[in-house]
Each structure stands twice: as structure tokens, then as C-alpha cells.
Structure 1
């Protein structure tokens, strides 16, 4: 696996290997590049890879999350400012374009930049020059810009929310980072990597591995939060599992899920005891619930057969969310006396 700087890139799926190959080819060119991908898909890793495979690899690699700062702070961070340029500016400050020298500047979430900052950025891309805030001296930079966003930046440009001319300059070429749901073969590889990295923090001597049940959960989940969500789920699951000598059985994807069954209702002290007639009525209601549950499970089983036991596809075929599907699927032990296997 390719290693650069302090970062390792993991992936063996075709979509991800194609993405890495594209980024590696662009690394050699001295042109701006735009990286598109969902949140948590690893856009920053691609940018870092491009820098360390480029002729600029010995120069600085700087990164700025444009969405994390206000317009004034972004402008000051990028271009710097002179002393007295605004309230609180007691001394002059070098911006990223000065500090990057001949290295690479990664601008994450570039679609959040204001139109005014976009105009100044366009000047840097076209002429390699800029001025500090409050200054009148023209400064120059030889840094390469690699930008990224999860937004539909083309639609933003069409709606005059992003400058077309800046987009044209940024997008000499575009690298598309595939979401984790399109990288099926990478899920377990990444999960084991995150687990191995986390066991030392738990003071475990080794990682015992994932059970087949846990692997099935990992593979069948759609991971809308991508690699970042997977990493959090793995670390959370190991922490809660707490048994360093046994395979991890359960993957905790949703930490907000209540551990209590909200469907169960207990009688209050003021409720009178149930008569025989009431008990019969209650049993009838339970039988009805059982019949309904049996029917629901039959539909799920038909969908599973049709979708070759892929729970995500089966849920979509039934117009259910994945969580809705799993909630019903887990209730099979109410029908059968055998323990439920939630990972078929």
C-alpha cells in the first residue's frame, strides 16, 4: 500500500484504485486540481497524496478548512494582514500563500468562500500575486492549490453562488473520491486497520478480530458518513466490547440508539389486576401482533432471497430505510425459539 508522509492510504476496490491512479497522474502536473467527494470520504488524504508524489514533496503542505472560519478570518488566513489593518491586528501576519512558498495549499470546503474572497483567490490563480489586508505591496506565491468540496459546485456556479471563472481555473481536472458504499471490498480492510490502531489506546495486547456477525453488519451497512463514520463505529465498538481476548461480536453504529425497549409498557401501581377475560383479550392482541410480525418477516425473507441476502438492497426493494429493515429483522427470535441471527 502506498505510504507517504505520516499517512497510509488503504483500499483495494476498483473505484478507489482508479481514484488513486488518477490523483497520482495529476501529482506530476503543476496545475490546480479540484477534489469532489462526500463528507468523510477521504478528500484530504487524496490531496496529501498528490503533494507527496509531486516534485513539491519537500516543500510545505498546508491545509485550511474554509468552512471553519468566518469570511474575515479566511481572508486574513489566506492573504495575511498588516499591523492596524483591523481591530486587534497589533502586528503584521503572514498568510498561507506566503507560508506555502513552493509547496501545496489544500483548501477544503472551498464552496463556502464568499464571492469577495473568491475574486481575490482568482487573482492568485491567474497571476500568482496578492496583497495583505491593509497593505499595498504586491506579494507573489508559487504555491499549488488543491481544492475540495462535497457540494454540487457546478450548480452553485450556475446559480451565481460560485464564480464560473474561478471554477474553470480550479478544475484543470477533477478527482472524484468514491463513497464507502461503492467500496464494498474496502470496508473490512479499513475496519481492521482502525481496530489495530485503536487497541493500543485500550491497552489490549492484540486485536482478537471480528466475528462473522460483526463482519456481516459492517458489510451490509451503507455508511452514509463514509470512512469517518466507519472509524468512529469501530473505535466505539471496541471500547464497549471491552473483552480483548474474544472476537468483537457487535458493531455499535448508532450511539444514540436507546438500550431500552420503548414498546414495552408496564402497569402502574394504580392499575387493577387483569381478570381472566382481560388476559384472554391480551393474549389475542399478542397473537395478532405475532401474525403481523410473521407477515412482515415473510416479506423481508422474500426480498432477501431476491436480493441475494444483501440487507441494504432488500430494504430498498421494500421502500424501507436500512434501520427499519434491521428493526424488523431482529425480531425473528419472537417467532422462532432459536436465537436470532441478525446477519443473514
Structure 2
């Protein structure tokens, strides 16, 4: 995802961007919390390029993609002979990010002994390569991201509470797309026009009303990344680019014989109480999912494309549990 995905005009999204602008010049660690697909890496890039370190390296590492032994070496480097196969000195991510910013994604997956080393870097500005005996000075701003509940993990002893204290100088909570209703049409049209350009279409004919309502009513468990896929898929599958999009495929893994998710065209009597209407729609949807799943909440969550915790959160929101 590129910088272009940081689009939006909803109040909660703009407040995050405003906070990023105020945090960027302050040389302190920042913790970014958000669901998958909400743009955590994009926010980290924005923090870096708005900071005084903008002309220095921005180095990324995803802790979840590396094994326990490798993440230590990748972060801090290693000396020749420090372990089997270590034929030469390896420069770690901290060393490569010197003077700049290091972005650690999926922080919650970092082993506890690595967390202890991160704590030392933040507190004392120094670290040692794996197999090394000499401390190296470190001038790197640390930005970390996760979709996990770190305070809860810290209470369970699965994440170092002292590291959480050091990292949480301030926390950026990224709103999920379902809480940015105002931004969904804006983002959908943006992705659609970019896809039309890529395919050489002269114009984007728009979305039909039923597709527009589908975009607004879908819960978007994959957030902006998922929206981009759905829109781009619809553009290339549209049989006549001169006509508006009539169908959206939200789950490309589903049996093609299944009916596609659609919302029938409706007309409402205005004015109306939108919050009350939205609550009625959500409650009806939750009850239908529970009925079809025979009140198995995990299965009901799957029917709606939600995680179990997201589904439970909606039940609590509407006092259904």
C-alpha cells in the first residue's frame, strides 16, 4: 500500500493525522495500534518523513515473519562465528537505521529476550551484536505497531510491562474502516479510478446504488486493504466499463454458485435518526447471523466476515449479551 491510501475526511481519521503531525517532531518512541489493513506502516512512514530524521534511513522489520533465533540477529546484528553458519559480521536493522527510524511491525510476536534488549536500547541507547562483547551506541527512533492488546498480554506475563511503559510515550489508535463510514465512498472511488487507469479505461462509470449500499453495510474485517481488493476486482470483472459497477465479490474464495452480497435498493423517508437506524440494521444482521449459526457465536462471526472478538464487541455495543 502506498501513501495514496492515507485518504479520508472522517473526524476520527483526521484526528489521527493531526496527532501524527504533532508527534512526528518529538524524538520519542511511538506505539501504533490497529487492525490489519488499517495502514499502520503508512502512519509510521508519515511519522518518519514529518520528523527531523526525514533525510535519514527508515528501516522496517516484521517480527512475525522471522523465527525466534533470527529476529535477534536481524535486529542487532551478529559477529562472525557467533553461531553455526555465521561466517561474517552481519549488520542488524538498528545499525542500518542509525540516525533515522526503525519500524517494528507485529511487535507482540517478538520473543521476551528480544523485548529485554529493546528495553535496553530505549533506556540507554546501546546494544550488542549477537556474539559480541562491545556495546554499540544507538541513535534510532523506534516506532512499533501491533493489532494485539499489549496491556492484556503484559498482565498475563506474555509481554514485558516495563517495555510497554517505555514504548507508550503516546499511542496512536487507528480506527477500523467500519468506523470511517464517511471515507468508504471516497476510498472506493479513488481505488476504482486508479484501477481504470491501469487497465487503460477512459473513465470510471461509478457504482450502482445497490453496490454503494453494499460498500457501506459490509463490516470490512480487512479494512482499507480489503476495500482496495474488492474494488479492483469489481473493475476488472465489469463486462462493460462504460456502465456502472453492478456486482461486488467480497469473498473470492466462496463458491461461485453462492449469491453475491447485495443490498436491495431502498428509499427512506427523511429526515431520520441515522444512529437509531444503524443500530436497527446491525441488530437485525447480528440476530440473523446467530439464528443461521444456531447461536454459535464463532460461526456467526464467520458468516459476517468478522473475528470472534469483533463479533463479541458488536454484541456488547448493542447490549445483546
8 Å CA contact 2:37–2:222 kept in 1: the answer is yes
CA distance in 2, matches of 1:241, 1:154: 46
TM-score of the aligned structures, taking structure 2 as reference length: 0.81
Is there any run of 5+ residues in structure 1 with no aligned partner, and where? Answer: 1-5, 263-303, 326-344
8 Å CA contact 1:307–1:314 kept in 2: the answer is no
CA distance in 2, matches of 1:71, 1:22: 34
Is there any run of 5+ residues in structure 2 with no aligned partner, and where? Answer: 260-273, 291-299, 305-321
**Partner SS, residue 101 of structure 1:** coil
Ranges of 4+ aligned residues in structure 1 off by more than 4 Å: 308-311, 317-325
2:251 to 235, 254, 259: 254
Aligned to 2:27: 30
Shift of the alpha carbon at 1:310? Answer: 7.0
Aligned to 1:272: none
- Is 1:217 aligned with 2:214? yes
CA shift digits 1:233-275 (9 cap, x unpaired): 111122222422111111111112222269xxxxxxxxxxxxx
- Is 1:45 aligned with 2:47? no
8 Å CA contact 1:220–1:310 kept in 2: the answer is no
1:191-340 equivalences in 2 (<5 Å): 191-260=188-257, 307=277, 311-316=281-286, 318=288, 320=290
Distance change (3 Å), C-alpha of 1:85 and 1:110: same
Distance change (3 Å), C-alpha of 1:88 and 1:315: same
CA distance in 2, matches of 1:74, 1:209: 46
CA distance in 1, matches of 2:88, 2:225: 38
**Partner SS, residue 25 of structure 1:** helix
8 Å CA contact 1:27–1:53 kept in 2: the answer is yes
Shift of the alpha carbon at 1:29? Answer: 0.7
CA shift digits 1:151-202 (9 cap, x unpaired): 0110100010000110000001111000111000011111111112222332
Q: How big is the alpha-carbon RMSD for the aligned residues of Structure 1 and Structure 2?
A: 2.2
2:159 to 140, 152, 162: 162
Shift of the alpha carbon at 1:322? Answer: 8.8
- Is 1:16 aligned with 2:10? no
8 Å CA contact 2:77–2:92 kept in 1: the answer is yes
